Amino acid sequence: MSIELLRQIAATPLPKSFAAAKDVDAVRILRQAGLVIAVPEAPPEGAIKVVAITEKGNDELLRLHYPGHRLPEPVPRPSWLQVAARRARSVIREAGRSGRDGL
């Protein structure tokens, strides 16, 4: 039921509010799973508003839409330390070149 609701949410403009008890419970399950970003409405109504579908929710929708299709592997990104080392080497290299030009 929750995954079907995720599909319905994806097909409608956001934000979208839900007031029925079973829908509110289903949205809470989706929120706990990290598939949607949802906030409670005013307390007397007990409704909940879905603000966005998360990246994880979109990945789940893709996986369900194309069951035999695997999601692409994430591209490995260098750590901050590797980036800093690369920048430091570049600065040192440039400083060495400008030092030779001045002589």
pLDDT digits (tens, 9 = 90+) for 26-49: 999 999 999 999 999 877 678 999
Query: Domain span at residue 54?
Result: 2-72
With pLDDT > 90 as the criterion, what percentage of the chain qualifies? 45
CATH of the domain at 34: 1.10.10
Establish if 39 belongs to a structural domain: yes
Question: pLDDT tens for residues 72-91?
Answer: 677 788 888 999 999 999 99
Over residues 11-24, the mean pLDDT reads 90
Under 8 Å between Cβ of 38 and 51: yes
Establish if 9 belongs to a structural domain: yes
How many domains would you assign to the chain? Answer: 1
Establish if 77 belongs to a structural domain: no
> What mean pLDDT value characterizes the chain?
85
pLDDT of 61 reads: 87
Tokens standing for residue 16: 């979208």
Residue 12 reports pLDDT greater than 70:
yes
Question: What gap in Å lies between CA 8 and CA 11, rounded to an integer?
Answer: 5
Alpha-carbon distance values, 4 to 1, 8, 76 (Å): 5, 6, 32
Residue 102 reports pLDDT greater than 80:
no
pLDDT of 1 reads: 56
Q: Which of 50, 48, 53, 54 is nearest to 22 (CA)?
A: 48
Number of helical H runs and strand E runs in the chain: 4, 3
Q: In 10 A of CB 35, how many CB atoms? A: 25
Establish if 85 belongs to a structural domain: no
Establish if 41 belongs to a structural domain: yes
